[in-house]
Structures are given as structure tokens and as C-alpha cells.
Amino acid sequence: MGLALENLRESAAHRARRIETKRAAGEIAMATRLQKPLKREIMVKRQPYIVTLSPDGLKVTKKGLRKGQELKWTDFVSGQAALAVALNASLARAR
């Protein structure tokens, strides 16, 4: 039992040194690259929705339907999405 525990400690220490070496060399990626669509279900006001993250953008649809709200990453990071939301809110207040 003592030998197995010692080997476990040694292997954990070895892994930690290896990770630190890779981190210092800039080889460790902090996030996984999104290469294909990733779907998850969420509940909003007791209604199921499907959120799809893809390399192109984000899409939210009611479960079982095809059409939904879509947002391209380029619009999101450029601020165009926030501008559109503000414009729509402004127009809704004017009515």
C-alpha cells in the first residue's frame, strides 16, 4: 500500500512539472477550439429551447422547431448586435 501511494504521489508531481513546462512554453490551450456545432437544451419560462454554438455564430430555437434567433460572431464582437438591440428598444418606446 505504501509503495502504491508513493508511486501515485510521484506520478502526480511528474504531471504537474510537465504541465508547468508546457505552460511556460505556451503549448497549453486554455479552451477547446469550436469546430462543429454544439447543441444544448435550456429552459426559459418553462419552455425548452435548443442553443446551438457553431463556428459561425449562436442560434436559439424553440425545441422541435427549425427557425429561431441567430447571431453571427462577427456581429456580436463588433458591437452590431448591441446596436441592433438598442435601436429596436428605442423604436419600441417611440410607438
Check whether 93 has a pLDDT greater than 80: no
Residue 90 phi/psi, 5-degree rounding, is -65, -45
Looking at the fold, whether 64 and 85 belong to one and the same domain comes out as: yes
pLDDT score, position 8: 58
- Interval 12-70: pLDDT, tens: 777 777 777 777 766 666 678 899 999 999 999 999 999 999 999 999 999 999 899 89
Residues 42 and 53 in one domain: yes
40 and 24 fall within a common domain: no
Asked if 24 and 39 sit in the same domain, the reply is no
pLDDT at residue 50, rounded to an integer: 96
Owning domain of residue 10:
1-30
Same domain, 55 and 88: yes
Q: What is the pLDDT of residue 49?
A: 96
Q: What confidence score (pLDDT) does residue 83 get?
A: 79
pLDDT of residue 32: 83
- Provide the whole-model pTM: 0.58
State how many domains the chain has.
Answer: 2
* Same domain, residue pair 71 and 46: yes
C-alpha cell at 11: 506520478
- pLDDT at residue 5 in the model: 56
Q: Are residues 25 and 37 in the same domain?
A: no
What does the pLDDT read at residue 48?
96
89 with 54, same domain: the answer is yes
